[in-house]
């Protein structure tokens, strides 16, 4: 194909004569390349009709159930002793839904489903293979087991940050939003009887160390503030914020909180609130940019809206799965719009807060999407590899291993018998990194052989 639209007519629309000459060159180059082309064989591999779901939280359980409902077996691997993940710490939503009731029902469904095999207290030791044919070694109670499966869904979740500021950990009157929710869920909770409660937003996020927004913090603050106001309308609640981000239909809860007397005070990143401990209570100092003066609030309880942070073992698992992480430490999907819930590695998918902070409804939607993508592979008897992949000329290869080190998909290895580079066709994505790196020119990309490129250059000259 000679792309004379994007590479020529659009960029040279004001120079028609020169564009015509360039179009002739592009056509000659394309013809010169076609003369040296040869049919590219296709490679296929059998598919193991089973799925591995890593993480037994909400996303993992929803994904496993969706896969099982479509008639396929799923292995659900959870590193903790109980299923549920972060959902175990949530009790109600902004819409006043019963989270624990939902959790109990979905855990029961998972445990009773004959197509789902649950492994608790289990770690991933190694992952080998490629799309349609993976072999994962897991460790449970010191015992190693091997699982054969065709696809992988990563749903390892995230966690709430334990702050290092505002006297957290030094004074029992300083807690996080998650801890507040657990206290409010108790029948004998004394939180609503307190006179003054201060909440500080963006603790640990939207800063230099973590520039991202944790997305759920503002809604969590409103949820807990409205819960307290419902039980004690006279309670004084102050929310110190940088920006209130209750996006979508959640804006109505922000309006409701204001109507019920919750006081919102904005602060700047450069002038963060200051908390000091006194015998009578906590003193919170904050500069109000509207009044342009410092306010001092005597508080009975200080609640921190802490950031959502990735799990510490994300890096280890990412290396095992050959998938990338963002600069923030969450897993990075292939393309947010064109390939959502996909990784660049074929056959591996993503769901839940392992991808980044999100609400329950968003987690469920993403888990369902990942399950559908996974089933689209394991419903087939075989998968075909890319036709445009790397190939090795064994006469020129000297086994230096440079191609092995640059391959992002680990599709190249050094053969133990011949000591030469070897390409695993199903893993190769045809990116060309190896061909650009090889010092001897032994490894080239099908469809873009060196002689083809040189013939195009000759035609252009």
Strand ranges for 209-352 from DSSP E: 236-241, 263-266, 274-277, 282-288, 293-299, 301-306, 308-310, 348-350
Question: Does residue 30 form part of some domain?
Answer: no
pLDDT score recorded for residue 300: 95
CATH number of the domain encompassing residue 425: 3.30.70.20
Q: Does one domain contain both 134 and 173?
A: no
pLDDT score recorded for residue 174: 97
Q: In the chain, how many H helices and how many E strands?
A: 11, 24
Supply 177's token pair: 């939003």
Task: Kindly state the average pLDDT of the residues 148-156.
Answer: 97
Question: Does residue 27 form part of some domain?
Answer: no
Q: Does one domain contain both 292 and 320?
A: no
Q: Does one domain contain both 84 and 215?
A: no
Task: Kindly state the average pLDDT of the residues 49-62.
Answer: 98
Do the Cβ atoms of 129 and 347 come closer than 8 Å?
Answer: no
Q: Does one domain contain both 280 and 206?
A: yes
Q: pLDDT band for 40, please (50, 70, 90 cuts).
A: confident
Q: Does one domain contain both 205 and 219?
A: yes
Question: Does residue 189 form part of some domain?
Answer: yes
pLDDT score recorded for residue 410: 83
Rounded to the nearest integer, the mean pLDDT of the chain is 94
Q: Does one domain contain both 268 and 187?
A: yes
Question: Does residue 9 form part of some domain?
Answer: no
Q: Does one domain contain both 150 and 166?
A: no
Question: Does residue 196 form part of some domain?
Answer: yes
pLDDT digits (tens, 9 = 90+) for 228-241: 999 999 999 999 99
- Tell me: pLDDT of 323 over 80: yes
Do the Cβ atoms of 82 and 40 come closer than 8 Å?
Answer: no
Q: Does one domain contain both 360 and 434?
A: no
Q: Does one domain contain both 164 and 296?
A: yes
The answer for residues whose C-beta is within 8 angstroms of residue 62's C-beta and 6 or more apart is 106, 351, 363, 364, 367, 368, 371
Q: Does one domain contain both 404 and 301?
A: no
Report the number of distinct structural domains present in the chain.
3
Q: Does one domain contain both 74 and 170?
A: no
Domain termination site, one of 362, 379, 396: 379
Q: Which of 18-22, 306-310, 388-392, 404-408 has the highest mean pLDDT?
A: 306-310
Q: What is the DSSP letter of 42?
A: P
More confident residue, 448 or 354: 354
- Tell me: pLDDT of 411 over 80: yes
> Could you identify the residue written with the tokens 């061909």?
435
Domain termination site, one of 263, 280, 308: 308
Task: For residues 218 and 111, give the distance between their C-alpha atoms in angstroms, rounded to a whole number.
Answer: 34
Do the Cβ atoms of 444 and 389 come closer than 8 Å?
Answer: no
Domain termination site, one of 268, 287, 308: 308
Least confident of 34-38, 421-425, 455-459: 34-38
Q: What is the DSSP letter of 170?
A: T
CATH number of the domain encompassing residue 55: 3.50.50.60
Question: Does residue 20 form part of some domain?
Answer: no
pLDDT digits (tens, 9 = 90+) for 363-382: 999 999 999 999 999 999 99
Do the Cβ atoms of 409 and 428 come closer than 8 Å?
Answer: yes
Question: Does residue 22 form part of some domain?
Answer: no
Measured from the Cβ of residue 287, the count of other Cβ atoms closer than 10 Å reads 18
More confident residue, 117 or 428: 117
Residues of the domain holding 170: 160-308
Q: What share of the chain is helix, strand, coil (3-state, %, to 5)?
A: 30, 25, 40
Q: What are phi and psi of 398, to 5 degrees?
A: -115, 10
- Tell me: pLDDT of 64 over 90: yes
Q: Residue 109: in which H helix or E strand, if any?
A: helix 99-112
pLDDT score recorded for residue 347: 93
Q: Does one domain contain both 372 and 392?
A: no
Question: Does residue 429 form part of some domain?
Answer: yes
Question: Which residues are paired to 174 by β-bridges?
Answer: 302
Q: Tell me the whole-structure pTM to 2 decimals.
A: 0.88
């Amino acid at each position: 194909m000679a792309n004379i639209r994007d590479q020529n007519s659009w960029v040279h629309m004001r120079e028609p004569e020169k564009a015509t000459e360039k179009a002739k060159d592009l056509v000659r180059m394309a013809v010169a390349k076609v003369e040296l082309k040869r049919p590219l064989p296709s490679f296929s591999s059998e598919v193991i009709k089973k799925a591995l779901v890593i993480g037994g939280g909400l996303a993992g359980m929803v994904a496993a159930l969706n896969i099982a409902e479509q008639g396929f077996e799923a292995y659900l691997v959870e590193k903790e002793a109980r299923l549920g993940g972060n959902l175990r710490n949530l009790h109600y939503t902004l819409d006043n839904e019963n989270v624990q009731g939902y959790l109990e029902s979905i855990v029961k469904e998972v445990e009773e489903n004959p197509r789902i095999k649950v492994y608790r207290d289990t770690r991933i030791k190694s992952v080998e293979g490629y799309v349609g044919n993976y072999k994962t070694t897991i460790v449970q109670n010191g015992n190693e087991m091997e699982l054969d499966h065709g696809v992988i869904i990563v749903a390892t979740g995230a966690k709430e940050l334990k702050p290092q500021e505002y006297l957290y950990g030094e004074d029992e009157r300083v807690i996080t939003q998650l801890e507040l929710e657990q206290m409010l869920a108790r029948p004998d909770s004394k939180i609503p009887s307190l006179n003054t409660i201060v909440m500080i937003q963006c603790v640990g996020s939207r800063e230099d160390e973590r520039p991202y927004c944790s997305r759920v913090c503002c809604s969590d603050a409103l949820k807990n503030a409205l819960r307290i106001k419902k039980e004690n309308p006279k309670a004084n609640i102050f929310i110190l914020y940088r920006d209130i981000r209750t996006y979508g239909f959640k804006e109505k809860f922000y309006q409701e909180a204001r109507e019920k007397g919750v006081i919102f005070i904005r602060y700047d990143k450069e002038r963060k609130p200051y908390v000091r401990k006194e015998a009578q209570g906590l003193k919170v100092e904050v500069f109000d940019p509207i009044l342009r003066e410092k306010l001092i609030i005597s508080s009975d309880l200080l609640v921190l809206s802490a950031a959502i942070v990735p799990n510490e073992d994300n890096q280890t698992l990412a290396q095992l799965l050959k998938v990338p992480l963002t600069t923030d430490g969450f897993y990075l999907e292939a393309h947010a719009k064109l390939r959502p819930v996909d990784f660049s590695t074929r056959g591996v998918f993503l769901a839940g807060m392992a991808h980044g902070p999100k609400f329950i409804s968003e987690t469920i939607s993403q888990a369902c999407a990942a399950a559908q993508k996974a089933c689209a592979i394991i419903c087939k008897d075989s998968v075909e590899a890319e036709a445009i992949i790397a190939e090795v000329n064994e006469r020129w290869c000297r086994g230096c291993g440079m191609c092995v080190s640059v391959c992002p998909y680990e599709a190249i290895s050094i053969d133990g018998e011949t000591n030469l580079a070897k390409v695993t066709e199903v893993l190769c994505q045809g990116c060309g990194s190896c061909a650009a790196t090889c010092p001897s020119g032994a490894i080239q990309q099908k469809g873009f052989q060196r002689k083809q490129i040189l013939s195009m250059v000759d035609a252009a000259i």
